[in-house]
């Protein structure tokens, strides 16, 4: 049974604790666009850093790239996005709302008198489905004319394809090799929603792996396994991740085979990452549209070919949402509800809270000393306001795995208590051992 109230609670916690805010909220918000607050930006950065480490730093066969969002408009003709990146939509002539033609809330057949608008309830006011391109357009240069139309990229992948020869020529890579990129993408989604699950501006973490034709299926299988391992390594609940293979009617225009890695959200099983066998479709089309040779000369095989591409494409915002949904729990402790975000310590935005038990007897001075020492190593948070129990609860909601309390004993013998978020157990540690202790606990 879907727990839709969990999403409401999460949205409210995200605002309260500074993870995520509605964009332009003081103006009433902008539809399905969100801003990351102090804790959210750290959490998402931890996701991106972990991905970058696994894909670029920990491997010898992948290079990084940061291509521009704006690209030559022909890129999107070649990629098939101008012609094919569309959703069939219907408009209500009465209330002016727009829906996907397959919106399950529509009763009857759009365009026919029996069709009923799911928003205003009018009958016979829905238009026939029309194709609507999801790319955002803008204009380059001072004159708003057709010739100057450029698009905000709907995927980061194309920036990699058009740079593949540049990377190949400037690095020591040979096929098989990959190029990884993290960056913003934009889609004028018609049915966005579920908080940051489907938004109009989002970040992708994409990797394109260039392989010899004929070896694509084995590389596809390898990447499918590696990407699932990475998702599992985020500490998500076992059993809430699965593969979904695309049927022929689901495959994107470029794909020969595709698997989604899905997570079980409160609103059902949904994709968090796609692994696609894009064949030589993209490079072949860019070669055709640009007139530039994009073949690779394979010295070992003494052969020229356009490499096949295995793509792994994850959403940084979607993975961040997944972590928050998975981590959220409520417990009754001493008759009160405790809300916890039980993040994997390596992903938590703040690693430790530092608290003087009371604001006297030398405790604030010692706590400040401990705080500054730890701050050189980890993101830590100093808090001396309110009862200690309330300070613990605030850190539980922020997902902080440890709280360090400076008390009377610290003043006497330079030891502190370290309280563990999940078990609430407390250890007493010497101030001198604290950094090493936390580093071990965090695996940092
Ligand atoms: N280059 C291939 C590609 O873009 P996709 O399945 O359309 O494939 C890949 O997108 C990933 O990007 C998705 O698994 C999802 O995590 C993320 N994504 C796509 N559209 C999104 C949106 N509107 N809001 C948030 N994330 C999105």
116/122 Cα distance (integer angstroms): 6
Q: Does ligand 1 lie within 6 Å of residue 155's CB atom? A: yes
135 CA from centroid of ligand 1 (Å): 13
User: Which token pair is 54?
Assistant: 């696994």
376/383 Cα distance (integer angstroms): 17
DSSP 92: B
**pLDDT computed for residue 4 by the predictor:** 63
275 CA from centroid of ligand 1 (Å): 11
Cα angle, residue 21 at apex, residues 50 and 118 outer, rounded to 5°: 110
93: β partners: none
299 CA from centroid of ligand 1 (Å): 36
**pLDDT computed for residue 444 by the predictor:** 65
DSSP letter string over 387-407? -HHHHHHHHHHHT-SEEEEE-
Does this model's pTM top 0.75? My answer is: yes
**pLDDT computed for residue 98 by the predictor:** 87
Residue 89: in which H helix or E strand, if any?
strand 86-91
369/349 Cα distance (integer angstroms): 21
Q: Which atom of ligand 1 is nearest to the CA of 198?
A: 24
Q: Does ligand 1 lie within 6 Å of residue 206's CB atom? A: yes
Q: Which atom of ligand 1 is nearest to the CA of 192?
A: 23
**pLDDT computed for residue 45 by the predictor:** 98
Strand-pair category, 62-65 with 177-186: parallel
Question: Contacts for 199-204 with beta carbons within 8 Å, 24 or more apart?
Answer: 199/32, 199/33, 199/34, 199/317, 200/31, 200/32, 200/33, 200/136, 201/33, 202/315, 202/316, 202/317, 202/318, 203/44, 203/48, 203/315, 203/316, 203/317, 204/155, 204/156, 204/313, 204/314, 204/315, 204/316
Strand-pair category, 402-406 with 352-356: parallel
Q: How many CB atoms lie within 10 A of CB 399?
A: 25
Q: Does ligand 1 lie within 6 Å of residue 407's CB atom? A: no
Integer-rounded Cα radius of gyration of the chain:
26
Q: Does ligand 1 lie within 6 Å of residue 81's CB atom? A: no
Answer whether 174's CB lies under 8 Å from 211's CB. Answer: no
Q: Does ligand 1 lie within 6 Å of residue 186's CB atom? A: no
The residue written with tokens 């997902």 in the block is 399
Q: Does ligand 1 lie within 6 Å of residue 202's CB atom? A: yes
The residue written with tokens 């480490």 in the block is 53
423/247 Cα distance (integer angstroms): 44
Of 74, 43, 67, 202, the residue nearest 147 (C-alpha):
74
Torsion of CA 250, 252, 258, 262, to 10 degrees: -60
* Percent of the chain that is helix, strand, coil (3-state, to 5): 30, 30, 35
188 CA from centroid of ligand 1 (Å): 12
User: Which token pair is 166?
Assistant: 């540049």
419 CA from centroid of ligand 1 (Å): 39
**pLDDT computed for residue 229 by the predictor:** 98
Q: Does ligand 1 lie within 6 Å of residue 399's CB atom? A: no
User: Which token pair is 167?
Assistant: 């990377």
Phi-psi region of 146 (alpha: psi -120 to 50; beta: other; left: phi over 0): alpha
The residue written with tokens 């391109």 in the block is 133
**237 Cα distance to chain centroid:** 18
φ/ψ (deg, to 5) at 392: -60, -45
* Tens digit of each residue's pLDDT, the chain (444 residues): 456 699 999 999 999 999 999 999 999 999 899 999 999 999 999 999 999 999 999 999 999 999 999 999 999 999 999 998 888 999 999 998 888 888 889 999 999 999 999 999 999 999 999 999 999 999 998 887 767 899 999 999 999 999 999 999 999 999 999 999 999 999 998 877 799 999 999 999 999 999 999 999 999 999 999 999 999 999 999 899 999 999 998 998 889 999 999 999 999 999 999 999 999 999 999 999 999 999 999 999 999 999 999 999 999 999 999 999 999 999 999 999 999 999 999 999 999 999 999 999 999 999 999 999 999 999 999 999 999 999 999 999 999 999 999 999 998 999 999 999 999 999 999 999 999 999 999 886
């Amino acid at each position: 049974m879907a727990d839709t109230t969990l999403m409401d609670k999460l949205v409210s916690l995200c605002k309260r604790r500074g993870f995520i805010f509605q964009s332009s909220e003081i103006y009433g918000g902008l539809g399905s666009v969100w801003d990351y607050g102090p804790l959210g930006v750290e959490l998402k950065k931890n996701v991106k850093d972990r991905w970058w480490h696994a894909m670029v730093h920990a491997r010898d066969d992948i290079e990084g790239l940061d291509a521009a969002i704006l690209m030559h408009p022909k890129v999107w003709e070649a990629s098939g996005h101008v012609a094919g990146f569309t959703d069939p939509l219907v408009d209500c002539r009465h209330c002016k709302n727009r829906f996907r033609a397959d919106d399950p809330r529509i009763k009857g057949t759009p365009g026919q008198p029996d069709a009923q608008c799911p928003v205003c309830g009018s009958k016979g006011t829905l238009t026939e489905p029309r194709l609507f391109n999801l790319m955002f357009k803008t204009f380059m240069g001072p004159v708003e004319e057709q010739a100057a139309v450029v698009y905000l990229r709907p995927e980061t992948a194309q920036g990699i394809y058009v740079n593949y020869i540049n990377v190949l020529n400037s690095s020591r890579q040979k096929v098989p090799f990959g190029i990884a990129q993290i960056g913003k993408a934009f889609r004028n989604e018609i049915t966005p929603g579920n908080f940051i699950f489907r938004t109009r501006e989002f970040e992708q973490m994409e990797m394109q792996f260039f392989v010899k034709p004929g070896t694509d299926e084995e590389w596809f299988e390898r990447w499918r396994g590696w990407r699932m391992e990475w998702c599992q390594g985020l500490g998500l609940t076992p059993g809430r991740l699965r593969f979904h293979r695309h049927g022929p009617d689901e495959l994107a225009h470029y794909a020969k085979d595709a698997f989604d890695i899905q997570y079980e959200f409160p609103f059902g099983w949904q994709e968090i990452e796609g692994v696609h066998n894009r064949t030589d479709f993209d490079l072949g089309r860019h070669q055709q549209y640009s007139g530039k040779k994009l073949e690779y000369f394979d010295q070992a095989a003494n052969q020229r070919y356009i490499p096949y591409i295995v793509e792994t494409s994850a959403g940084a915002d979607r993975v961040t949402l997944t972590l928050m949904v998975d981590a959220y729990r409520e417990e009754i402790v001493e008759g009160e509800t405790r809300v916890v975000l039980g993040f994997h310590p390596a992903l938590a935005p703040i690693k430790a809270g530092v608290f003087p038990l009371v604001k006297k007897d030398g405790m604030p001075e010692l706590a400040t000393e401990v705080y500054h020492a730890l701050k050189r190593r980890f993101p830590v948070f100093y808090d001396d306001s309110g009862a200690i129990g309330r300070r613990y609860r605030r850190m539980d909601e922020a997902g902080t795995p440890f709280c360090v309390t400076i008390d009377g004993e610290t003043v006497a013998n330079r030891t502190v208590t370290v309280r563990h978020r999940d078990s609430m157990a407390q250890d007493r540690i010497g101030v001198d051992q604290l950094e090493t202790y936390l580093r071990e606990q965090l695996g940092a």
